[in-house]
Chain A
Amino acid sequence: QKEVEQDPGPLSVPEGAIVSLNCTYSNSAFQYFMWYRQYSRKGPELLMYTYSSGNKEDGRFTAQVDKSSKYISLFIRDSQPSDSATYLCAMTRSGGSNYKLTFGKGTLLTVNP
């Protein structure tokens, strides 16, 4: 079983739709969870960062962590064409060497005007 699973898509939605992006993981030691947005031919950009379980909201974006199910989500409300990108989840455990981020392979999202 892979440590982090992420549906690669592609996901295509109309402008204004609510988008749900998800990752599942197998390592119960993961405590820190991140979402990155990567536009074509650019580097990943940190979008959201959460610790342990719960929700975090930032504008149109909401990150959700359910540690009991080992499942994290990113919701995008009122999606815009500028949200078209690949979304990567990433996670790591607390303590020890803080170098090892485990990434999902990314979901390609297209928002159509």
Chain B
Amino acid sequence: DVKVTQSSRYLVKRTGEKVFLECVQDMDHENMFWYRQDPGLGLRLIYFSYDVKMKEKGDIPEGYSVSREKKERFSLILESASTNQTSMYLCASNRDRGYEQYFGPGTRLTVT
């Protein structure tokens, strides 16, 4: 069974803090993705990675960075959290040449 896990379900951070969101998949998938989901805006792609240490910007990369040191793990980093980064963050993965993506349970981040 496909499994994507995220390190926290709920997180509360203060403005200016550095925030790490972790995602792990156990399907040996090549591709991993970070999205944020906001009411009225839907799902928006922040970054994705198609291989270890490889990454590409999505539609809204500003204010975020990512790290992929191991195939199964993809981290999203908020260098200096701001209130407009309060959102639901979703990690997903898929295999190379696959189209359907499999999502984790999400991390609801609140920045105060």
Report the minimum CB–CB distance from A107 to chain B (whole Å).
11
* Chain A residues bordering chain B, tally (CB within 8 A): 23
Chain B contact residue count (CB 8 A cutoff): 25
Task: Decide if the interface of chain A is mainly helix, strand, loop or mixed.
Answer: loop
Contact A99 B102 (CB under 8 A): no
A-B contacts, CB under 8 A, total:
53
B42 smallest CB distance to A (angstroms):
4
Query: Which of chain A's residues have a CB closer than 8 A to the CB of B48?
Result: 99
Complex Cα distance A44/B105, Å? 8
- Docked-complex contact A101 and B101, CB < 8 angstroms: yes
A3 to chain B, nearest CB (A): 11
Instruction: Render A81-105 as a binary contact track against B, CB cut-off 8 A, 1 for contact.
Output: 0000000101010100111110111
Closest B residue by C-beta to A44: B103
Q: Of the listed stretches B12-20, B65-73, B91-99, name the one at the interface; the rest are far from the partner chain.
A: B91-99
Contact of B42 (CB < 8 Å), options: A42, A46, A97, A106: A106
Point out the residues of chain A lying under 8 angstroms from B106, CB to CB. 41-43
Q: List 25 A-B contacts (CB under 8 A).
A: A32-B99, A32-B100, A34-B99, A41-B106, A41-B108, A42-B106, A43-B105, A43-B106, A44-B43, A44-B90, A46-B100, A46-B103, A49-B100, A88-B42, A88-B43, A94-B99, A98-B31, A98-B94, A98-B96, A98-B98, A99-B31, A99-B45, A100-B45, A101-B99, A103-B42
Q: A46-B100, A99-B50 are in contact. List 5 more A-B contacts (CB 8 A).
A: A32-B99, A90-B101, A98-B99, A99-B31, A99-B45
Residues of chain A whose beta carbon lies under 8 Å from any beta carbon of chain B: 32, 34, 36, 41-46, 49, 88, 90, 92, 94, 97-101, 103-106
